[in-house]
Structure 1
Amino acid sequence: MTVLIFTGCSSQTKEDAFNAYKDSWASKDYEKMYDILSTDSKKYISKEDFITRYTNIYDGIGAKDIHIELNDEQDKDDTLKFTLKMDSIAGEIKLEDFNIRMVEEDIDGENNWHVKWDENLIFPDMNKEDKVRIETLYSERGEIYDKSGNGLAVNGTRYNIGIYPKLFEENKESNISNMSNILDIDKELIEDKLDKNTNPEYFIPIVKLSVDDTKLSQLLDIKGVKHQEVKERIYPGGEAFGSLIGYTGSITAEELEKDKEGIYNSTSIVGKLGLESVYEESLRSKDGKEIYISKINDGKEIDKVVLAKTRPEDGKDLKLSIDMDLQKKIYNEMDGNVGASVAIHPITGEVLSMVSSPSFDSNLFTTYISNTQSKEWEDTEVNEFQNRFNDAYSPGSTFKLVTADIALDKNSINPSEKLSINGKQWQKDNSWGDYKVTRVSDKISNVNLNDAFVYSDNIYFAMAALEIGEKNFIEESKKFGFNEDIPVNYPIEKSQIANENKMGNEILLANTGYGQGEVLVSPLHLSLIYSSVVNEGDIMKPILEQGEGVKSEIWKKDVITDKNIDILKQSLINIIEDKNGTGNEAKLDGIKLAGKTGTAELKSSQNETGKEDGWFVAMDIDNPELVVSMIIEGVEDKGGSHHVVPRVKNIMEYYLK
């Protein structure tokens, strides 16, 4: 009898088995990978541990787009050589020295190829005790400086004030009470953080403090209260710069969702307001990452093998044209009054200050906000977080410069001609019904252009506007930049002559002539308009950022012609130099100024008593260095624009003397 015994012979090659393994690897199907392991390998590591280890490592490093290919040159034994490439949070990982040993086994009557596995198949050079680690290589956000190099938003050190529970709990209630009283915060805030903690050895952060905060020594007297140094944003300019500079804070879920490029993560710090937000793209930094194998011996790291590394990228510093001391001076002169002020250099176009009042201290958002501060914000009707210098306002009589220039260009007025104006009220004819234009003073009845400026005669400028006509008025105003975006890297509201750029009736045209009606002008734009008087008729492009390649450029050329400049300049000088001038309070010994007052009446009908905003814009004449415009809201019971004039005078004197 002949007995034939057939031995199972696999049609699968080791390359076939490898391809099945690498396809599962590339798709992160770790369970299928485990199924292809050899019998000895499965004794070496359990399926649960295998899946957990790959999951933790590959998810931790952000592994994606995994590509595995056999190398061209192979030995004839059962070891295959291959290359692995993948993307990670630290960039591309490319490993060309992978070796995988294949073994042929008969399992359940089937003879197939299997993978002989150990830690070298996670990454080459990896042993059982080794760990894959990720290190963040920290970068720094770009800093903001004024024109002289003074820091306005810098990276510095704060103290993280927190609790060491093991010691703090010994006298818990008393300690919480003392801590909340010193910091002026709710007890519940401290209690909640303590309740959520499960490790008595864990430092629980409560608030951040400035390193020179006097509360620190009191806090450290409480048993269990500790402090740690942390890197944080510091704002040396304080309240005067809150609206301009803004602040940084943790990214919100909504902000993260808008990040389609994947620039940020859940722990990112971003600009929230002001220049911190406007210049976010250049100020932001990008942390680097390093993925490495930590070589362990007897529980200690003895070496590391770097798999991938991206270097940190610091943000770009921002140097401004802003003058820190001038900004503070203007803010202090405004003394908490609601309003705004902008100062520029008329010849270079440099923006020297942009002030919103009242404002806030940006440092509160990188330390903490006390209960007293929160209540102060809640109890006031004024919004400290409204950025007023980028708003457009009714300019009142400060707009008369524009009307006068257009009227001179169109020969709508003869500057030396005396117009007969009697009384304080005037209307063109009976078609205006009960509406009349009102002037402040009827001291003189024969009025030329200079008189109209000195006494701020609304009737004269209303007449001039009617002579110009609506079409010419709107068209000629464009040369000053109305209805245009001001070319500066900050969101400034557009100035306008009228809603939808049309008036439609004579009363609105007349009111527009003296800066009422629907005219709106931002403080920056008003300063730019007035700068043309001392800059040969040109308006410079405003410069906010200094740096390589930044140079002075003309934005609007010859907005005031040579034949008009001297006429207008002298009238603006007389507003201050003439004892009857509405700006006479601003007169300085030894420094010749020109300027214009303005009071904008905000009301829906002529007969009602409304809110008034006071304006004053001033500039030096002989060697022009400074133009300052300032608006203060709600001056109806404070003397109108006379509430503003002395403040601007003090600023001019401070800067020019």
Structure 2
Amino acid sequence: MKKWKAVLFLVLTLVILSACSKGPQPEERFQKYVSLWNDQNFSGMYDYLSSDAKKSITEQEFKERYQQIYESIETENLSISYEKPEEQEERKDEKEASLPFSLKMDTLAGPVAFDHRASLVKEETDDGDNWFISWNPSMIFPQLKEGDAVRISEDKPVRGSILDKNGKGLAINAVVPEIQAVPEKLGSDPEASKEAAAKLLNLTVEDIDKKLSASWVKPDMSVPVAKVDPSETELVKKVTSLPGFQKADVSSRYYPLGENAAHLTGYIGNISGEELQELKGKGYTSTSQLGKAGLEEVYEDDLRGQTGFRIYTDPSNETIAERPAEDGKDITVTIDSALQTVLYNQLKGDSGTAAAVHPLTGETLALVSSPAYNPNSFVFGMSGAAYQALTEQTGNPLSAKFNKTFSPGSVFKPLTAAAGLKAGTLNPAEVKTITGLTWKKGPEWGNYSVTRVTDAYSAVDLKRALVSSDNIYFAQAALEMGADAFKDGAAAFGLGERFEFDFPTADSSVAESDLAAKDVLLADSGYGQGEVLMSPVHIAASYTAFVNNGSMIMPYLEKKDDAAPEIWKEGILTPEQSSLILNHLISVVDDPSGTGHEPVVPGLKLAGKTGTAELKMAKGEIGQENGWFVAVNTDQPKLLIAMMIEDVKDRGGSHYVVPKVKQAFSAYLK
């Protein structure tokens, strides 16, 4: 037994000695190097370099070179593979070895893949001989030679245009005049020339000096100062008549409707450092422009296209990877430029908004907000003072209103009527006796009461309540159906759920408080006050139910080949119920006592509802009044407008809005 154990010990000893006699092998050393490379552990990789390689590059340089190159080309999915052979070559007396490896990675210019060979040399160390990598730049990329740098060039795509339903430009690429200044030609009084130009261009002298003092500027160079709207031919003549100022035609983003569609189109601008970080990996660079607001932002992914990139060596100019640019996609929307302009002109000078849709198809025909700004100013160049003035202007011109929510006031009453009809608590033919201008449920309401506009009528049915916009009737209707039925009726029109519209829009809501626990809040909600909030677009969508046999259309914005309607809420009302409400809304306009009657426009057949929403922080407080008018033409319906104007208390309330909507209908239906 002892003899057998001795033999086994001898065999094992010989095996171990045999293995040890081979010493370190290049395959094993390179396999460890590849593992470090895959982990991008560049400091660890440096330890494996040969002494000659370390003489040509320091550890810090080695680490920074890899990191800078990989980061600049946005390396992802790096994979270096080396298959160690099962049987290694006997290299007892060899001093050099060449081993194959493969590298794959994704970059901003597309995938990179190559096969290469690594050279290893045997060197003496304090611990004996070992193998080290004879590193050179070609191990990063085979095209990279000693002294070369890795460069990236951009091929910018052409941004897609935004077109209206008739193919007219809302946001396009155009040739526009650019005012340039040549420092050495500013004349004997350069300050006077700059001051005159600044005044004409709505800039400051400081704005111009900042451009002229850029590090790259030389006295004889043409320095871009500001782009100008192509329609401003007289302005261009005046500026270029000044010493040192000239015109050049350049390509630019251009918004033909200007402030008429500012909040709809939005604008593009230079990418910020924060945006660049957020969009890392999506092909943006520090020189990119992107949509900052409006449709430019909504459709950014389609409009921008794909920037082309070429990764190459410099100065040897060998291509490592290349991806051509892909131009952006043109987007055609359902907006009608003519109606957009008509509605903006009606709102100009006021703070308000309007949304227009086709009541049968759901096409969004106009989205308007006032006051506005000129989106071209953001692209052409706006002074800091001009921007500051916009931020301080009453009415917040930089913010769209058509996608925000407001108290709808009495334009909500048809929805309350629909809820009551659906719940079976409202009999449209029942005549209620309502006397006086105020009413309250009982002493538990304390000093609070519901007020109506007129007490000229004491016998009030649904038709009379809508025609005269009787707050008391609808407050009582809400109380009679109860909080649950009222909320269900509002939910049937989409209040309280996500409004899935192409243009990001705030969601409408009924109440944050418990309606069942607050009779006063429920009563107020019945006539569109309380905590009810709706966006103009959602209000317009709600009224489509009255011309579509009780089904509500979802508005859409991007043009379809087939303008078929998309039903958002089917069967909110029966066809008979929706027809009943529509006929009463016709009376709101046709009846001489109706709140939407004046002014009479011959040949114009409308159904509509006025509304005045009072904004107050507490009961009994006097607040700002916003005026509403929602209307749809009834003779072959093709236009539905919801318009709201702020602060109409001393201007006739909703009666200030009615003529503007009617004028828009007249202009469009012609």
TM-score bracket, normalised by the shorter chain, equals 0.7 to 0.9
Q: Distance in 2 between matches of 1:134 and 1:585?
A: 66
Asked if 1:610 corresponds to 2:630, the answer is: no
Which residue of structure 2 lines up, in the alignment, with residue 284 of structure 1? 304
Q: Distance in 1 between matches of 2:423 and 2:650?
A: 39
Compute the displacement of 1:469 (Å).
2.2
Among candidates 254, 257, 264, match of residue 274 of structure 2: 254
Q: Distance in 2 between matches of 1:588 and 1:183?
A: 43
CA 32–625 in structure 1, closer or farther in 2 if over 3 Å, else same: same
More displaced, 227-236 or 452-461?
227-236
Which residue of structure 2 lines up, in the alignment, with residue 628 of structure 1? 641
Give the alignment's TM-score, normalised by structure 1.
0.83
Among candidates 331, 342, 367, match of residue 355 of structure 2: 342
1:259-293 Cα deviation digits (max 9, x unpaired): 36555333332222222223333333331111235
Which residue of structure 2 lines up, in the alignment, with residue 509 of structure 1? 522
Compute the displacement of 1:596 (Å).
1.0
Asked if 1:409 corresponds to 2:412, the answer is: no
CA 422–267 in structure 1, closer or farther in 2 if over 3 Å, else same: same
Q: Distance in 1 between matches of 2:357 and 2:333?
A: 13
1:168-223 Cα deviation digits (max 9, x unpaired): 69865455434434433222233344445266276654433345544444544556
Q: Is the CA contact (8 Å cut-off) linking 1:126 and 1:295 kept in structure 2?
A: no
Among candidates 133, 138, 153, match of residue 156 of structure 2: 138
Q: Is the CA contact (8 Å cut-off) linking 1:207 and 1:368 kept in structure 2?
A: yes
Which residue of structure 1 lines up, in the alignment, with residue 208 of structure 2? 190
Asked if 1:527 corresponds to 2:540, the answer is: yes
The correspondence of residues 563-578 of structure 1 with structure 2, limited to 5 A, is 563-578=576-591
Among candidates 83, 86, 90, match of residue 109 of structure 2: 90
Compute the displacement of 1:537 (Å).
0.9
SS in 1 for 2:367: strand
Among candidates 314, 327, 350, match of residue 340 of structure 2: 327
Among candidates 442, 445, 470, match of residue 458 of structure 2: 445
Q: Distance in 2 between matches of 1:350 and 1:51?
A: 60
CA 213–103 in structure 1, closer or farther in 2 if over 3 Å, else same: farther
Which residue of structure 1 lines up, in the alignment, with residue 261 of structure 2? 241
Compute the displacement of 1:575 (Å).
1.2
Q: Is the CA contact (8 Å cut-off) linking 1:24 and 1:33 kept in structure 2?
A: no
More displaced, 129-138 or 58-67?
58-67
Q: Is the CA contact (8 Å cut-off) linking 1:493 and 1:522 kept in structure 2?
A: yes
CA 474–293 in structure 1, closer or farther in 2 if over 3 Å, else same: closer
Q: Is the CA contact (8 Å cut-off) linking 2:549 and 2:576 kept in structure 1?
A: no
Which residue of structure 2 lines up, in the alignment, with residue 5 of structure 1? none
Count of aligned pairs: 635
1:55-94 Cα deviation digits (max 9, x unpaired): 787776566847485999x9x9989474563544423333
Q: Is the CA contact (8 Å cut-off) linking 2:269 and 2:291 kept in structure 1?
A: yes
What are structure 2's unaligned runs of at least 5 residues? 1-21
What are structure 1's unaligned runs of at least 5 residues? 1-9, 297-303
Which residue of structure 2 lines up, in the alignment, with residue 313 of structure 1? 326
1:138-178 Cα deviation digits (max 9, x unpaired): 11333322222222122334455454556569865455434
Q: Is the CA contact (8 Å cut-off) linking 2:616 and 2:624 kept in structure 1?
A: yes
Asked if 1:274 corresponds to 2:274, the answer is: no
SS in 2 for 1:584: coil
Which residue of structure 1 lines up, in the alignment, with residue 226 of structure 2? 207
CA 533–207 in structure 1, closer or farther in 2 if over 3 Å, else same: same
The correspondence of residues 635-654 of structure 1 with structure 2, limited to 5 A, is 635-654=648-667
Asked if 1:398 corresponds to 2:434, the answer is: no
Q: Is the CA contact (8 Å cut-off) linking 2:416 and 2:489 kept in structure 1?
A: no
Which residue of structure 2 lines up, in the alignment, with residue 382 of structure 1? 395
Q: Is the CA contact (8 Å cut-off) linking 1:184 and 1:371 kept in structure 2?
A: no
Among candidates 430, 439, 443, match of residue 430 of structure 1: 443
Q: Is the CA contact (8 Å cut-off) linking 1:105 and 1:112 kept in structure 2?
A: yes
Compute the displacement of 1:308 (Å).
0.9
Compute the displacement of 1:566 (Å).
3.0
User: C-alpha root-mean-square deviation of aligned residues, in Å?
Assistant: 4.2
Q: Is the CA contact (8 Å cut-off) linking 2:545 and 2:572 kept in structure 1?
A: yes
Q: Distance in 1 between matches of 2:147 and 2:446?
A: 95
Q: Distance in 1 between matches of 2:475 and 2:75?
A: 72
Q: Distance in 2 between matches of 1:61 and 1:414?
A: 71
Which residue of structure 1 lines up, in the alignment, with residue 4 of structure 2? none
- The amino acid of 1:189's aligned partner reads D
Give the alignment's TM-score, normalised by structure 2.
0.81
